[in-house]
Amino acid sequence: MENVAEKTLADKYAHIKGWGIDADPENEPTYPIKHWTGDDHKRINWKRPPLQPVNIEVLHSIERPNITAVFGTSSPPSGLSGAIRRYAFKYSEGNYAHWFALVLADRVNMVEGIIDDIAHGHFPNFFKERGWTAEWKYNRKAMITKLAIGAGVLIGVAAFLYARGGKKKSLL
């Protein structure tokens, strides 16, 4: 009886391209590559491999009782960006404070990286690293447009702040 229900369901959605492509057991998409061994049904009885050792600070979601099995160790949280990340992980992943803080921490970390490069004697070549050299060579008109818009916005903000500074109000 279940087969009839499956047929009517398949007929109902037949207009959707690819619907029910795996419904026919005779049309097995992994054949002949897949070799059935019987172990396919024993997946729930696997032995967990040893966890990665924790030898640095690892931030993890408050929804998880413990850290994930594998995590990155190349850049543990440090500095102001690390403090912002620690703040972010006090909140649930469903909260905007978590994600906005992480995005802010990424931006702060970028500035910290530039400061660290300069402190170690390497001044970054912003034109090449940001792709401005290639932009100037291959897309000059768009780059000039972006620079003009940026300069216009900057001049507008400066003019607004200058005009606003001249209008001091008395508290009396």
Return the pLDDT at 34: 67
Average pLDDT over residues 30-57: 74
Q: Are residues 136 and 90 in the same domain?
A: no
- Do 84 and 148 belong together in one domain? no
Same domain, 30 and 79: yes
- C-beta separation of 92 from 63 below 8 A: yes
* pLDDT bucket at 1, cuts 50 / 70 / 90: very low
On whether both 142 and 61 belong to a single domain, the answer is: no
Together in a domain, 109 and 152: no
Condensed to tens digits (0 to 9), the pLDDT of residues 47-58 reads 777 888 888 898
Domain hosting 112: range is 21-119
Considering its fold, how many domains does the chain have in total?
2
Residue 98 has pLDDT above 70, yes or no: yes
Clarify whether residues 113 and 142 are in a common domain: no
- On whether residue 101 sits in a domain, the answer given is yes
Residue 78 has pLDDT above 70, yes or no: yes
Q: Is residue 84 part of a domain?
A: yes
For residue 38, tell me if it sits in a domain.
yes
Of residues 67 and 111, more confidence is placed in 111
Most confident of the following: 40-54, 138-152, 153-167: 138-152
Q: What is the mean pLDDT of residues 106-125?
A: 93
Q: Is residue 25 part of a domain?
A: yes
Query: Has residue 71 been placed in a domain?
Result: yes
- Residue 91 — left, alpha, or beta (φ > 0 → left; ψ -120 to 50 → alpha)? beta
Q: Do residues 98 and 151 share a domain?
A: no
Residues 107 and 134 in one domain: no
* Inside any domain, residue 150: yes
Same structural domain, 52 and 112: yes
Q: Are residues 41 and 109 in the same domain?
A: yes
How many other C-beta atoms can be found within 10 angstroms of the C-beta atom of residue 31? 10
Q: Does 16 have pLDDT greater than 70? A: yes
Taking the C-alpha atoms of residue 119 and residue 125, their distance in angstroms, rounded to an integer, is 15
Q: Which structure tokens are listed for 39?
A: 């172990």
Instruction: Establish if 32 belongs to a structural domain.
Output: yes
pLDDT: which is higher, 20 or 140 = 140
Q: What are 143's two structure tokens? A: 């780059």
Same domain, yes or no: 80 and 155? no
